[in-house]
Amino acid sequence: MKVLKSRTIKVLAIATVLFAGVATTVVNETGNYFEIAKNIEIFANLYKEVNTYYVDEIDPAKLMRTGVDAMLESLDPYTNYISESQIEGFRYITEGRYNGIGADIRIIGDMPTIVSPYEGSPAQIAGLKAGDQILEIDGKDAKGKTTDEISAVMKGYPGTEVQLTIHRPGESKNLKISLVRDEVSIPNVPYSGMISEDVGYIALTVFTRDAGQNVAKALEDLKVEQPNLKGVILDLRDNGGGLLAEAVNVSNVFIPKNELVVSTKGKVKDWDRSFKTLNQPLDEKIPLVVLINKNSASASEIVSGVIQDLDRGILLGQSSYGKGLVQNTRDIGYNAKVKMTTAKYYIPSGRCIQAIEYKQGEPAEIPDSKRTAFKTRNGRKVLDGGGVRPDIFLDHDDETDILRTLEEKHFIFNYVTEWVLKNAEVKSADDFHFTQWGDFVQFLEKQNFDYDTESEQLLKELKGKSKEDGYISEADIKALEAKIIEAKKNDLNKNKELITDMIEKEVVSRFFYEKGRIKVGLRNDMEIKEAVKLFGDKARYDSLLKG
């Protein structure tokens, strides 16, 4: 008990010193010293009492982490505590590289499963394949572990070894594979190329280090390949952001030197900054279409917002996420950091695209009546709050219940794992087309595939209400249930084209990795087709920019 109390006192002493440092900083600005000091003392006393007298042994670090996470969660979704064990993950987010084995690992069923080894990574070199289930890591059972727990073990210093026991579909015996950890680099421009005779395409997936330089290099290569380039598509769909400096650098590829890109404003006025382009652009005239969707966030919204505000190009797709907040990291000791929202950012028109309202941690739809109007350089009306709205809005038809279930429950992934065992190697991403629809339907039948629709959920609520008020008969309920069952039977064939596209991308990724997945996806991409069509209609392109 003395050891336990001694440990508690040490932890509290450190915590008190750290909090006191914060308190003395805050008192000068807010005058809340007494409230801060009082609550720190209450917290310390509470922690000591729980640690000393709680019926079971507790883990001080885990208990403290729970409290810290809950405290920061009450602020906004982007202010987080980063422990020493999470530093490698943080490094990947900012730099696009980390030390580990280089594989996307997810829990499928209750087994950690290789979803995709990265091209050129230790995982790929050692022969790991998509679909491999990890049974043991260094002799310890991996079943039931979370992705965070698996990731923490897999990451480590370059040159160190990790031993895996895996079950590979189609193999009767388990395999033992030894991997040597190394620095893994994930390219932020995984693919660029010509998608028609005179239109180029650049995919930017994250704003890590050198994103601007890599986008510029991709554009240079396209111009060499096609000197008469008619237009370029910059794809920022599903790009969750990254480094603010790289948002400026990517914008600078297309807009002039000394142009304002973004301003940041927060509580600490000395930290307010304006960021302008520093270099001559690679091409400030070439027609440009930027693709965005609901998962384009942060730095993606800066770039797309700047292109729109300066009337430099056309935005196409769906409204972006709505993250107009800037985070900075502060060291807090013991190799830990706090990633903290310190400012809001404002793009050239003066608008901030931060979502005004949240629902279950996600930005909520905001009516135009709650948004303030601003003007682009050409005088076009744009709105603040709730993300960047595209100039050409295309409604997506891939958000249905059946497609979501096929992906989230890994039916597509598991089917392709079986398909690869039974089929010869795919020789070309360009030439591959999936033609075994009946085989896929049979697979789903064997798996007892089913899914809940929004209509079914509403019907369950209606069923409960009808018992209370008696307005709707049981026969009416059964008739509605029968209609839903019939509609669900037709859903597969109704979504055949989209499901086939999902299968083709997954199959090709097994042989040609992320580049192959993107390349195959482009040929069936509604937004790509619309962008190419727009480049062929200069009058429409120009009129959209003039407003």
Residue type, position 485, single letter: I
Three-state SS annotation for 26-73: HHHHHCCHHHHHHHHHHHHHHHHHHHHHCCCCCCHHHHHHHHHHHHHH
Distance separating the N- and C-terminal Cα atoms of the chain: 74
Closest CA to 321 of 349, 292, 341: 292
Q: Measure the CA–CA gap between 24 and 32, rounded to whole angstroms.
A: 10
How many CB atoms sit inside 10 A of residue 449's CB? 15
334: left (phi over 0), alpha (psi -120 to 50) or beta: left
Q: Determine contact, residues 361/77, Cβ cutoff 8 Å.
A: yes
Count other C-beta atoms under 10 Å from residue 436's C-beta.
15
Phi-psi region of 172 (alpha: psi -120 to 50; beta: other; left: phi over 0): alpha
Query: In angstroms, rounded to a whole number, what is the distance separating the alpha carbons of residues 515 and 234?
Result: 16
The first and second tokens of residue 352, run together, are 């901030």
Q: Does 309 participate in catalysis according to the annotation? A: yes
Q: Is 116 helix (H, G, I), strand (E, B) or coil?
A: strand
Among the options 323, 337, 505, 519, which is catalytic?
323
H helix or E strand, kind and range, residue 463: helix 454-469
Which is nearest to 316 in space by CA: 376, 389, 401, 246? 389
Q: Which of 116, 263, 298, 300 is catalytic?
A: 298
Calculate the alpha carbon distances from 128 to 114, 148, 487 in Å.
8, 20, 41
Catalytic residue among 132, 182, 235, 309: 309
Eight-class DSSP state of 187: -
| Pair 158, 183: CB distance under 8 Å | yes
d(CA 545, CA 536): 15
* Beta-ladder partners of 292: 317
**472 and 480 Cβ atoms separated by less than 8 Å:** no
Q: Phi first, then psi: what are they for 93, rounded to 5°?
A: -60, -40
Active site amino acids: 298, 309, 323
